[in-house]
A and B are shown apart, each in its own frame.
Chain A
Amino acid sequence: ETGVTQSPTHLIKTRGQQVTLRCSSQSGHNTVSWYQQALGQGPQFIFQYYREEENGRGNFPPRFSGLQFPNYSSELNVNALELDDSALYLCASSFGQQARTDTQYFGPGTRLTVL
């Protein structure tokens, strides 16, 4: 196990609602990345947080937002849910430092279903 935890495991929402997903990073890690994995696809990068600041963003609209807390845990918020937001949301933690890419370790994911 990686030590990365996510909650909840499963979630069902309806269109237009808002959702918050949570991630606790592995001990010693200061970077959290979020990915969306649609059924049958590879994970797509949403954004990354390094030391509580957004540190890169993929091609996702502003209704996808996030936070990182002083203990390096993180939240992913999605507003105005759409049917296409149904997916597995994966959180990954890593140790980031200047001019270095470290390995990302993934949590078990949150499966979001939008009806």
Chain B
Amino acid sequence: AQKVTQAQTEISVVEKEDVTLDCVYETRDTTYYLFWYKQPPSGELVFLIRRNSFDEQNEISGRYSWNFQKSTSSFNFTITASQVVDSAVYFCALSEANFGNEKLTFGTGTRLTIIP
């Protein structure tokens, strides 16, 4: 069975600080996909990134970066120079690549608060 653990329930940082959100996953499959979604107070889940299990290259998109390490089953998310607009709940999710059930398994989320 697949499982995603986000051990940090809540994080608060002062604006312009860097912050890293941790994600650890469990799966028996060799082919799988990892995702990060952002959920602002409005409730809609906003897609941030999708990585497959064969691509361990770190990715950077503006102030966002992701560190994927298969050896530790982790897919961590770093926000550099945080801004108030980054305040939201962030979810890490896992999908196994078995067509027929593309369900996403989500972690419990990390609530990030950026203090002005």
Contact = CB atoms under 8 A, between A and B. Distances in A.
Interface residues of B, number: 27
B47 A99 contact: no
B71 interface: no
Contacts of A106: 37, 44-47
A65 B100 CA distance: 18
A107 B93 CA distance: 17
Nearest to A42: B106
A68 interface: no
A9 to B, nearest CB: 9
A42 B103 contact: no
B102 A103 contact: no
Interface residues of A, number: 33
19 contacts: A33-B103, A42-B106, A43-B91, A43-B104, A44-B106, A45-B105, A48-B102, A55-B100, A56-B101, A90-B45, A96-B99, A99-B99, A100-B97, A101-B96, A101-B102, A103-B50, A108-B44, A109-B43, A109-B44
